[in-house]
Amino acid sequence: MTIYDAVSANKRKTIFVMFIFILFVLTISYILSKALGGDGLSFAGAMLIFSGIYTFASYYYSDQIVLALSGAKPAKKTEFKTFFETVENLSIGSGLPTPKIYVINDSAPNAFATGRDPKHAAVAATTGLLQKLDKIELEGVIAHELSHVKNYDTRLMSVVAILVGVVAMLSNIFLRNMWWGNISGRDSNRRDNTIFMLVAVFAAILSPIIATLIQLAVSRRREYLADADGALLTRYPEGLACALEKIASDRHIMKSANLATAHLFIDNPFKSNYNKNWLLNLFSTHPPAEDRIRILRAM
Amino acid sequence: MSFVQILIIITVLTVAYFWLTYNSLVTLKERIKEALSTIDVQLKRRFDLIPNLIETVKGYAKHEKSVFEEVTKARSQLLSAKTPKEKADANNALGETLKSLFAVAEGYPELKASQNFLSLQGELTDTENKIAYSRQFYNSNVLDYNTKIKSFPALLFSGYFGFKEEEFFQAEGEEKTPIKVQF
């Protein structure tokens, strides 16, 4: 698979995800409205406009939303000189315009890239990453992120974060509430209860499907490909391998990551102790760091 | 299918093949030009940093005239270089003379402690890294292009249309590793 195949596949998949999202919102709103005894079609029509605008916005503003969700702030060149120089140098090396540079104030080392195309790209790293990695390791991480930008992975991944991720979060909330029985005690309003149960059952059925959609966007091959492209750019796979070791063995957990944005990061921001929850495991989107390190060391 | 039809199909396919290959060669060649201009931007930056550096060093080490002259000469050669090979050679030569300039600076503790000198040294190192990366990008484009014009069947006509092999931007000798800056 050449980079051009990867780029066109990503563009195609982005449109597919946007289409599926609108279809999904329409179906849900139609059924819910019918179940409540309303006129399903007019409600679904209103939702069509809403979801259309939302999808449109997700395409153009996904980078801004993702950066805001992660608490990323624009970095100052005087303060983060090495980070700036590394991003500039590697952009030159890969022939990309220099992306906007952001910093997340979090002691857990992690990084991600976003943006709908290389001209609107942004790279964000946590302060933990900038403190804990040395220059060669940082180069490895940035090269990996720039490869995501170059392959248009960032377009698909950001749109997925905004569209599918939000649905995933909602269904997760409903599912938890159903299990914990938060609603069983209150039967003063049975009608509300029925609606809630209906949504919860929906969420239960939909969660695996949504998870599959996220998996579609963040196939393991995508991460391995970015690792390989990044290594080609720095000509030093060991740098990224060391960085991944440090990131994976770090015990801090990212406070600013959530289910919607987890797949964007270079390594799973929820550490393994989170994975006791089978639902979160469904959303586990990263190939194991050990495998990636092994492959990088074999290059 | 008649003979004429087959002939038409073959002609159309051949024309389409030439059309596409020609255009892709033009694109590859334009990319090389663009990559070379990226190197030029960084070479220019290095070029512009040097007078400041010489002035700063002069402030502390007036008597090292021969080193200043060498650096200035190498710098002006960079300006007159036209082809990628000349530019690479001039840049490598400049790197050599800068090394002797920094070796001279070693003998002047006050100079080494000067904030101005340190920041210039830092910028110069950054520029050298950027030159290295732009060279890498240029060379990978040249590799793509050269591979394409030398592959069969493009090989048969690439020369006829004036697509010649392009030169790599060589890093020679010590220039392969960035200059070590000692503090």
Q: What is the 3-state secondary structure (H, E, C) of chain B?
A: CCHHHHHHHHHHHHHHHHHHHHHHHHHHHHHHHHHHHHHHHHHHHHHHHHHHHHHHHHHHCCCCHHHHHHHHHHHHHHHHCCCHHHHHHHHHHHHHHHHHHHHHHCCCHHHHHCHHHHHHHHHHHHHHHHHHHHHHHHHHHHHHHHHHHHCCCHHHHHCCCCCCCCCCCCCCHHHHCCCCCCC
Q: How many CA atoms lie within 13 A of A148 on its CB side?
A: 35
Domain map of chain B by residue range?
Answer: 3-176
The catalytic position among A79, A145, A238, A290 is A145
Hey, what are B136's tokens? 């890498």
Predicted confidence pLDDT, tens digits, chain A (299 residues) = 566 677 888 888 888 888 888 887 788 777 777 766 667 778 788 888 888 888 888 889 988 988 988 889 999 988 999 999 999 999 999 989 999 999 999 988 999 999 999 999 999 999 999 999 999 999 999 999 999 999 998 998 888 888 877 776 666 666 666 655 544 444 445 556 666 667 667 766 776 676 666 666 666 778 888 899 999 888 889 999 999 999 888 878 777 776 677 778 888 777 654 445 555 555 566 777 888 898 899 87
Cβ neighbours of B129 in A, within 8 Å: 85, 89
Mean pLDDT taken over chain B: 86
How far B64 CA sits from the closest chain A CA (Å)?
A: 32
Instruction: Show me where the domains of chain A are located.
Output: 3-68+156-181+188-205, 70-153+219-297
For position A244, what pLDDT does the model report?
92
CB < 8 Å to A92, chain B: 38, 42, 130, 133-134, 137
Helical axes B65-80 vs B84-105, angle rounded to 10° = 160
Fold of B3-176: de novo design (two linked rop proteins) (1.20.1440)
B148 touches chain A (CB under 8 A): no
What pLDDT, on the 0 to 100 scale, is given for residue B179? 56
- Cross-chain residue pair A89–B42, CB shorter than 8 Å: no
Query: Is CATH 3.30.2010.10 the right assignment for the domain spanning A70-153+219-297?
Result: yes
Number of Cβ within 10 Å of residue A284's Cβ equals 18
Among residues A92, A24, A30, the alpha carbon closest in space to that of A54 is found at A24
pTM of the model: 0.79
Judge if the upstream peptide bond of residue A208 is cis by omega within 30 degrees of 0.
no
pLDDT digits (tens, 9 = 90+) for B75-127: 988 888 888 888 888 988 898 889 888 888 888 888 888 888 999 998 999 99
Distance between A86 CA and the closest CA of chain B, angstroms: 9
What's the pLDDT score for residue A147? 94
β partners of residue A102: A74, A124
Please report the pLDDT score of residue A222 as a whole number.
Answer: 81
Please report residues of B whose CB lies closer than 8 A to that of A235: 136
Q: Does B123 touch chain A (CB under 8 A)?
A: no
Of all residues in chain B, the one with the smallest CA distance to A89 is B130
**Within the 221-260 window of chain A, which residues sit less than 8 Å (CB to CB) from chain B?**
235
Read off the DSSP letter of residue A265: B
Annotated active-site residue A145? The verdict is: yes
A138 CA: distance to closest CA in chain B (Å): 15
Whether chain A has a CB inside 8 Å of the CB on B32: the answer is no
